[in-house]
Amino acid sequence: MSIFLNNGEMMKRFVFLLFLFTLVLSACQPEPIPLPGDVLFSDDFSTRENAWTHLVNDGGAMDYNAGGFRMYVREPNLNYWTTAGQNFANARIEVDALQYSGPQENRLGLVCRHHDDNNYYFFVISTDGYYAIGKVVGGVQSLLGQDAMQFASAIQTGVAINHLRAECDGTTLRFYVNDAPLALVDDADLATGDVGLLAGTFSEGGLDVLFDNFQVLQP
């Protein structure tokens, strides 16, 4: 029996060894580190492929509709929020928000570091021109850096589209509306979690809001 390989057998062995080497090398490669501005997650709500929470009950409804994600809050003094089934430590979240109808004294905005319904950060505006950053920790809600929602001329009032941007970067929380910086606060209670959308009412119900062009980027 010959112990020598012919050229064809040598080539096959070389290709096989090269294939094994490539597999080992690729397995050893670290995951690429996201750079500022890299898109980590996005949804234009044209399909139902992502895990957004949706529901219909006596208080209202939220679901895919009209080319976006629509939230109708029928009852007064009620919040709805929906999350995307993701998990991030640091995130820059952006969305376009349009109020169709309902009271201008309202809440609509973004959620980050959502652990569960009792623990998350929120970034909200009202369509009469006010804004706030806040948190819910252990089921207790509080605003950060302010005692009440504050007025900002950058917010488009009434039936209008506002572009919202929230950044959760380490312990730093930033809020922008229509590219104008509104708030900067520091808080260390929540470190990671899901991202999402929020809409709510005060003393008057009937809020109808459409969200579109949702993105999460590396801050």
Number of neighbours of residue 121 by Cβ within 10 angstroms: 23
Amino acid 15: pLDDT:
52
Task: Give the model's pLDDT for residue 1.
Answer: 46
Domains of the chain by residue range: 39-217
Structure confidence at residue 25 (pLDDT): 47
> At 52, phi and psi to the nearest 5?
-65, 135
Listed as ranges, residues in the chain with pLDDT below 70 are 1-31
- Cβ burial of 196 (10 Å; 0-12, 13-18, 19+) is buried
Res 2: pLDDT: 46
Contact 136, 143 (CB under 8 A): no
Asked if residue 95 lies in contact with residue 214, where contact means CB atoms within 8 angstroms, the answer is yes
CATH of domain 39-217: 2.60.120.560
